[in-house]
Chain A
Amino acid sequence: MAGKSEPIATEHVAIHPKAGAIQLALLAVILAGLLLAPQFLYPIFLMKLLAFGLFAAAFNLLLGYTGLLSFGHATFFGGAAYFTAHAVKVWGWPPEAGILLGVLGAAALGLVMGAIAIRRQGIYFAMITLALSQMFFFFCLQAGFTHGEDGIQSVPRGTLFGIFDLSQPMTMYYFVLAVFILGMLIIWRFVNSPFGMILKSIRENEQRAISLGYSVSRYKLGAFVMSAALAGLAGGVKALIFQFATLTDVSWQMSGEVILMTLLGGIGTLAGPVVGAGLVVTLQNYLATSDFPVTIITGVVFMVCVLVFRRGLVGEFFASRLGRRLGFRSES
């Protein structure tokens, strides 16, 4: 959505001859950091960060690369959390099967919501997804298996593939990290596939994409389901990390939070949503102990981002001279 409005700097900056190598080195440093992080930081905090990072990246697949603003992604995140928690706790499924169910359930919800919402564009799309996700919220409030206001509590983490005991915090951390990396790889591959290119063309000029013979609705729906499934992956993992699934995860506030993460980090960049998620999660951690309401800060950050900081942190870096010299490019 930023594509139409943000003037991109036209001044030519030569890409550094070793830009590719520097990018790879940067990636290696980040990976090493993630591998070593639990030595220095609280594992639950890190796992929360990774889960929300993946959630925001999945959301960005839709907003950043297809130009569709979904205001209902909590449905997929929280819905998957419920499915996984129920399968693992009540049916005694192993964690990998529980998460798979969460992903499939989220994809199915995405198929239904997407099929209805893509009938309108732009602002209407956002309002429709919001309304449908509120409907799912009321469903979760009344359905038996979600246990209403209590949520599904004390969900066992179980044993992954019958080998890895996930109740060990370190084992759990590396499992979450593996899922995160897998999810990011899928997103990266998806964005750079022919399918992803068509999505970007739809974002830039829907009419032209139609005139080129692409059935735009089908591509939009495909992207919607993909984004929902990946959000579900994050939600399923989240249910195992915190060992509960509650109404908070399906509320509209959650849908708003993931938008903020993406906006703050940088719409249309692969790393932006993860950085944004990191910032928001850290902020919430700091404010959790004070009685100052997080929503005031969230709201003000939202307003400031929209008014003066629409590229987000990573987007701003990519657009800077240094960023462009290193060969980075924002997709929106």
Chain B
Amino acid sequence: MTMIFGIPVAALMGQLLVGLINGSFYALLSLGLAVIFGLLRVINFAHGAQYMMGAFAALLLLTVGGVNYWLALILAPLIVGLFGAIIERTMLSRLYQLDHLYGLLFTFGLALAIEGTFRYFYGASGMPYAAPAALTGAVNLGFMFLPIYRGWVVIASLIVCLAVWFMIEKTKLGAYLRAATENPTLVQSFGVNVPLLLTLTYALGAGLAAFAGVLAAPVYQVSPLMGSNLIIIVFAVVVVGGMGSILGAIVTGYMLGVVEGLTKVFYPEASNIVIFVIMAIVLILRPAGLFGKDA
């Protein structure tokens, strides 16, 4: 068997793939957090809960409505996005004038309430969600077997991340968004409906989380607590990347996922904490984050 640094290539590539997959979720989730934070100045603690809701929406659409994976990939983000829009309009929007910490605390409470509710109805154990038939099986890449679904996760998340980046940086709607981030009052005076823009942004972030949740459903088990530990890691990712840049959030997400995967090969005991350690080091050397502009 071929070896690199005393590690079998297959094991190394396997963990690299696991790292890329985790990185795909980190990237999607930190992208959503960055989009929401950019305009609303709210750290969305409920992001993990919305990710979990996405996975549950896919599961329930399948078991109750018989809706297949591909449709769920579109429907679940819409459902969770609508839920997010309602929350933003009725409650979250009342907090914009206050200290930003209140937004964090509110969404923390929201996350607890959502997760508690799902646990009450579905228990704490995970439920399996089968990958669509077209994406089952594996291909032989010569040096390793690549499960097709896992490859799909990486590609799908890359496409969505780039699409969101393109929308924000290159389209007219994105220009409104960026302008409103800089100066909401001025943009409003030009006749742009800023409150609507805020609602749409929160819905977009929640929808992105739900999309990640649907992607994750066949990889991990669908369980009410699947998002709560993930969100803390994503927070660390966001601190490392700095929330100033959309592209920064995406790149940092993939990068840290891969680093975490590699740590599993070389020093498994530290794989749980390596992202937090990197966060601490980045904070000491470069407090604004790797791509951050604001100090």
Contact = CB atoms under 8 A, between A and B. Distances in A.
B114 A299 contact: yes
B238 A127 contact: yes
Contact of A303 (B110, B272, B279, B284): B110
A131 B239 CA distance: 10
B143 interface: no
B99 A4 contact: yes
Contacts of A295: 112-113, 115-116, 119
B83 interface: no
B112 A1 contact: no
Interface string B81-111: 0000000000100110111111011101111
A307 B103 CA distance: 10
Contact of A292 (B94, B120, B228, B277): B120
A69 B120 CA distance: 30
A1 B101 CA distance: 8
Contacts of A131: 232-233, 235-236, 239, 276, 279
B112 A116 contact: no
Contacts of B101: 1, 69, 122-123, 126
A201 B2 CA distance: 63
Given A302-B106, A303-B91, A132 B116 contact: no
Interface in A100-137: 116-117, 119-120, 122-124, 126-128, 130-132, 134-135
Assign chain B's interface to a size class: 35 or more
Given A132-B280, A138-B272, A127 B235 contact: yes
B232 A296 contact: no
Give the dominant DSSP class at B's interface.
Answer: helix
B117 interface: yes
A299 B235 contact: no
A134 B232 contact: yes
A216 to B, nearest CB: 14
A300 B104 contact: no
Q: Among B100, B112, B114, B117, which residue has the most Cβ atoms of chain A within 10 A?
A: B112
A252 interface: yes
B104 A69 contact: yes
Contacts of B98: 5, 310
A300 B113 contact: yes
A94 B232 CA distance: 38
Interface in B17-76: 37, 43
A119 B276 contact: no
Contacts of B95: 306-307
Contacts of A297: 116
Contacts of B105: 69, 259, 263, 302, 306
Given A122-B100, A135-B276, A307-B106, A142 B269 contact: yes
A306 B273 CA distance: 32
B112 A120 contact: no
Contacts, number: 128
B110 A299 contact: yes
Interface in B123-168: none
A161 B109 CA distance: 43
A300 B109 contact: yes
Contacts of B114: 299
A2 interface: yes
Contact of A298 (B104, B112, B283): B112
Contacts of B239: 120, 124, 127-128, 131
Contact of A130 (B106, B232, B283): B232
Nearest to B237: A131
B287 interface: yes
Given A1-B99, A120-B287, A128-B239, A307 B94 contact: yes
Nearest to B117: A296
Given A120-B283, A295-B115, A295-B116, A302 B109 contact: yes
A34 interface: no
Interface string A59-72: 00000000001000
Contacts of B235: 127, 130-131
10 contacts: A1-B99, A127-B238, A128-B239, A131-B276, A134-B236, A142-B272, A252-B232, A302-B105, A303-B106, A305-B109
Which 10 A-B residue pairings sit nearest by Cβ, starting from the closest?
A302-B109, A299-B113, A299-B112, A295-B116, A296-B116, A135-B276, A131-B236, A303-B109, A138-B272, A5-B98
Interface of A: 1-2, 4-5, 69, 116-117, 119-120, 122-124, 126-128, 130-132, 134-135, 138-139, 141-142, 252, 256, 259, 263, 292-303, 305-307, 310
Given A116-B284, A295-B116, A301-B109, 13 more contacts: A1-B101, A1-B102, A69-B105, A120-B283, A122-B100, A123-B43, A126-B101, A131-B239, A139-B273, A256-B112, A296-B113, A296-B120, A306-B106
